[in-house]
Chain A
């Protein structure tokens, strides 16, 4: 019988939902493989949170409670997680694929000379290791990946429903060498921008398929205007400098849920889908019938956006009289 170590992440003074998704994944694997589930909480003054994690599914939970862990630091976290993995003899270490998770998890794997699989949407007990499913090629394909021996894995937030049951198991302090060369300075909140897409009833977003910056005011904006809505964009458009960051919809931009979301020339990378999939109604227009955007859309059109969008703009104007 082996052990699965679940690493909690604290955000704004509470354990994140994604951490309980890891617990659910761990419990699923443990049920089939007969593993014991253990938790790990890292921070400063986090004793109560560790007790909470221990009783809400993680089971026996190690706590690294140290002033050096008052803020996330990649080397502090890497050392704490490696120490906890050694202490529990963990066969599988689960970490959420968040900005701190993807920063530290590969270091833990390399430090332990363990297998590493990232951003998984499924995890199961396997033959001599573990089996995973993950997205590759920006969501266009899935891959089944198997690991051998000790394994560190990150899970995509939202892929597995969070554990809502309870568990027995107290907490145990763990001390580790937490020395680090990197130094946390501060977190800067996102600058207020003036473009607030979260208030819009209708958003018309364009992606890489729009092809050129001038096509946004020529093609995308007129449809947004005709519908009394706002214009948005996917990350590649902003990265290319075609539109400013405030227009970006996605996990690193604005999270929106309008009554109607029209995605034109957007293939649907995960980071974009996270930002718009809660929309009430989604229309996707894309030339590629296999584009992942059609998975979240209510209605899809497989066509050149330049054939559809201008015609739709005229039809909307005509319908309004």
Chain B
């Protein structure tokens, strides 16, 4: 069984978010990046299938040179191989462009299962995973908290609102977009990191995937015109002063509420 995991490298959750000069995205120079948090759960879910059923785990990412670091981390956690789509024309491709690229990789790999995270911590679109499945005409499930793989197919539990779960059965091949918290993600061990240095990372261009004219940023159907700090509406009264003064004001407020 071959399992492919799509992962995205995103700005670190604690990175400074400064809007870049042209106003269309954040300043990405000199900030820390990490594997998208949702995708770490997807990597873990795939590695559990490697541990329990001997699956081959291939991690795939699109992005510039820095993405190698994210792929090496996943290899250090235990993935077997990596595919890095590194092509200037693919930088800034929208969700549909990214989905076309990842679908082409999944097809070339002949993946039985495709795991992704539910969404990315930067764009928050949750768009790419179902698109990959649609392009490959395979069933998909998003927001998955539990996966049970058998010879015949996969049974998953999708998170609905208020803690309810929807149980869905799908034949292979299929795509599963993992919800955060689905498992406890392992760390890359020192031994794993050493071994990862010898594991193969295949670098591909859009032309290698037969997508030179169909999945580049030039084909985008959506454009980010502007990003900005949300306008402050009716926001909080910010308390100032020493710690004692602030605490005193809070106690006064709590008294006014009749709770003290």
Bound CA span A145–B95, Å: 13
B29 contacts A by Cβ under 8 Å:
no
- Provide the bound-state CA to CA distance between A228 and B260, in Å: 10
A141 touches B26 (CB 8 A): yes
User: Using an 8 Å CB-CB cutoff, how does the interface string of B152-168 with A read, 1 for contact, 0 for none?
Assistant: 00010111111111111
Choose the segment among A31-39, A60-68, A289-297 that binds chain B (4+ C-beta atoms closer than 8 Å). A289-297
B225 within 8 A of A: yes
Does B52 sit within 8 A of A, measured CB to CB?
no
User: Chain B contact residues (Cβ within 8 angstroms of A): what range?
Assistant: 35 or more
Find chain A residues with CB under 8 A from B13 CB. 208
Instruction: Please provide the chain A residues from 271 to 299 with a CB less than 8 Å away from any CB of chain B in the complex.
Output: 280-284, 289-290, 292, 294-299
With A235-B180, A311-B244: A283-B126 Cβ-Cβ less than 8 Å: no
Residues A298 and B139 in contact, CB atoms below 8 Å apart? no
Q: In this complex, what residue of A is CB-closest to B225?
A: A144
Known: A187-B167, A252-B163. A103 touches B141 (CB 8 A): yes
Fill in one digit per residue for A127-163: 1 if any B CB lies within 8 Å of its CB, else 0: 0010100111111111111111101000000000000
Q: Which of A159-207 contact B (CB under 8 A)?
A: 180-191, 201-202
Say yes or no for B150: interface residue by CB 8 A criterion: no
A191–B123 alpha-carbon span in the complex (Å): 32
Q: Is B260's CB under 8 angstroms from A142's CB?
A: no
> Does A14 lie at the interface of the complex (its beta carbon under 8 Å from any beta carbon of B)?
no
Also in contact, A295 and B239, with CB within 8 A (given A110-B99, A137-B124, A138-B124): no
Q: Is B157 a contact of A308 with CB atoms below 8 Å?
A: no
| Max chain A Cβ within 10 angstroms of own Cβ: one of B99, B157, B168 | B168
B171 adjacent to chain A (CB < 8 Å):
yes
- Indicate whether A85 reaches chain B with its CB closer than 8 angstroms: no
Is A91 an interface residue when CB atoms closer than 8 A count as contact? no
Contact with A along B225-239 (1 / 0, CB 8 A): 111111111011111
Answer whether A144 and B250 are a contact pair too, CB < 8 Å, given A107-B140, A251-B161, A299-B236: no
**Least distance between B41 CB and chain A CB atoms (Å):** 8
Complex partner residue of A245 from B163, B164, B258, CB under 8 angstroms:
B163
In the complex, residue of chain B having the shortest beta-carbon distance to the beta carbon of A245: B163
Stretch at the interface among A22-30, A43-51, A115-123, A214-222: A115-123
Residue in A137, A260, A284 whose Cβ sees the most chain B Cβ within 10 Å: A137
Residue from B96, B180, B222 with most neighbouring chain A CB atoms (10 Å): B222
**Majority secondary structure, A binding face:** mixed
B180 x A107 contact (CB < 8 A): no
Contact between A187 and B251, CB atoms less than 8 A apart: no
Contacting residues, chain B, for A114 (C-beta < 8 A) = 221
How many angstroms between the C-alpha atoms of A265 and B113 in the bound complex?
A: 37
CA of A181 to CA of B58, assembled, Å = 25
Scoring B127, B138, B164, B253 by chain A CB atoms within 10 A of each residue's CB, the highest score goes to B127
Question: Does A255 sit within 8 A of B, measured CB to CB?
Answer: yes
Give the residues in chain B near A282, CB-CB below 8 Å.
236
In the complex with contacts A103-B130, A147-B222, A241-B184, A281-B253 CB distance below 8 A: yes
Most A-side CB within 10 Å, residue of B26, B170, B254: B254
Over the window 245-260 of chain B, the binary record of Cβ atoms lying under 8 Å from chain A Cβ atoms (1 yes, 0 no) is 0111111011101111
Q: Does A106 lie at the interface of the complex (its beta carbon under 8 Å from any beta carbon of B)? A: yes
Contact status A315-B236, CB under 8 Å: no
Out of A134, A151, A184, which one reaches B168, CB within 8 Å?
A184
Contacts of A319 in B (CB 8 A): 251, 255, 260
Residue B243, interface by CB 8 Å: yes
Q: How large is the interface on A (under 10, 10 to 19, 20 to 34, 35 or more residues)?
A: 35 or more
Say whether A136 contacts B123, CB under 8 Å.
Answer: yes
Which residues of chain B come closer than 8 Å to A255, judged between CB atoms?
162
Q: Verify B221–A301 contact, CB threshold 8 A.
A: no
Please give, as numbers and ranges, the residues of chain B lying within 8 Å of A191 by CB-CB distance. 163
Contact check, A312 vs B251: say whether CB atoms are below 8 A apart.
yes
* A145 and B139 in contact, given A72-B166, A295-B233 (Cβ under 8 angstroms): no
Hey, which chain B residues are within 8 Å of A148, CB to CB? 221-223
Report whether B161 and A297 are in contact in the complex, using a CB–CB cutoff of 8 Å. no
| Bound complex: CA A142 to CA B130 (Å) | 24
Closest to A295 in B: B235
Task: Point out the residues of chain A lying under 8 angstroms from B159, CB to CB.
Answer: 99, 252
Q: CB of B78 within 8 A of chain A? A: no
- Within the complex, what minimum Cβ distance (angstroms) separates A17 from chain B? 13
What residues on A are CB-neighbors of B213 within 8 Å? Answer: none
Using a CB–CB distance below 8 Å, which chain A residues touch chain B? Answer: 72, 74-75, 78, 98-99, 102-111, 113-119, 129, 131, 134-149, 151, 180-191, 201-202, 208, 227-228, 235-236, 238-239, 241, 245, 251-255, 259-260, 280-284, 289-290, 292, 294-303, 307-308, 311-312, 315-316, 319-320
List 26 interface pairs A-B (beta carbons < 8 Å), by A numbering: A99-B166, A103-B130, A106-B95, A106-B99, A106-B128, A107-B133, A109-B96, A110-B134, A116-B96, A116-B221, A140-B229, A141-B19, A141-B229, A141-B230, A142-B231, A146-B225, A187-B166, A227-B254, A228-B259, A239-B181, A252-B162, A290-B229, A295-B235, A297-B236, A299-B250, A315-B247
